[in-house]
């Protein structure tokens, strides 16, 4: 079964072949290895760090993810539990506390997802990846070209 772009991002797969794993450890809670990536996709050889400092930009993605997370947890809480802006009603406070705690617990997954989304924005899927050689990005680090 082949992955589509969404399942490929969610499962942290290489965007080029959608088969190889981006991260060394498949457990995001392996604390020493949260963002440790394979240098190259183990399946198709796509470099995971396209250029030096490539993942600096993931800050934008993780910011967007956090906003999306807080908005959706707010909506879910409002629908399922309910809240008002009444000072007597502490439910908004409970939402805030529990969503912050959950956000902290989910951080490793968010960190990986941000990288996965980020690389997917720059590397496109190639269904003929088995036959076609890697296309090199001209901004790519020289030492990666040699590999």
Q: Which residues bind Zn ion (CB under 5 A)?
A: 14, 16-17, 20, 41, 43-44, 46
What is the SS3 string spanning the chain? CCCCHHHHHHCCECCCCCCCECECCCCCCCHHHCCCECCECCCCCCECCCCCCHHHHHHHHHHHHHHHHHHHHHHHHHHHCCCCCCCCCCHHHHHHHHHHHHHHHHHHHHHHHHHHHHHHHHCCCCCCCCCCCCCCCCCCCHHHHHC
113 versus 134: smaller Cβ distance to Zn ion: 134
Q: How many residues does the chain have?
A: 147
31 versus 133: smaller Cβ distance to Zn ion: 133
In the complex, the smallest distance separating the C-beta of residue 35 from Zn ion, rounded to whole angstroms, is: 18
In the complex, the smallest distance separating the C-beta of residue 48 from Zn ion, rounded to whole angstroms, is: 9
14 versus 65: smaller Cβ distance to Zn ion: 14
In the complex, the smallest distance separating the C-beta of residue 38 from Zn ion, rounded to whole angstroms, is: 9
26 versus 90: smaller Cβ distance to Zn ion: 26
In the complex, the smallest distance separating the C-beta of residue 14 from Zn ion, rounded to whole angstroms, is: 3
9 versus 14: smaller Cβ distance to Zn ion: 14
In the complex, the smallest distance separating the C-beta of residue 58 from Zn ion, rounded to whole angstroms, is: 19
CB contact at 8 A, 50 and 34: no
């Amino acid at each position: 079964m082949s992955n589509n772009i969404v399942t490929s991002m969610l499962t942290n797969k290489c965007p080029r072949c959608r088969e190889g794993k981006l991260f060394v450890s498949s457990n995001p809670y392996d604390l020493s290895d949260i963002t440790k990536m394979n240098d190259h996709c183990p399946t198709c050889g796509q470099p995971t760090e396209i250029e030096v400092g490539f993942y600096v930009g993931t800050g934008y993605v993780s910011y967007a993810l956090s906003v999306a997370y807080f908005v959706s947890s707010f909506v879910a809480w409002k629908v399922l539990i309910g809240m008002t802006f009444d000072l007597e009603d502490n439910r908004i406070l409970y939402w805030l506390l529990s969503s912050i705690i959950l956000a902290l617990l989910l951080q490793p997954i968010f960190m990986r997802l941000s990288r996965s989304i980020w690389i997917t924005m720059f590397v496109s899927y190639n269904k003929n990846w088995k036959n076609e050689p890697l296309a090199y990005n001209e901004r790519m680090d020289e030492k990666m070209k040699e590999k």
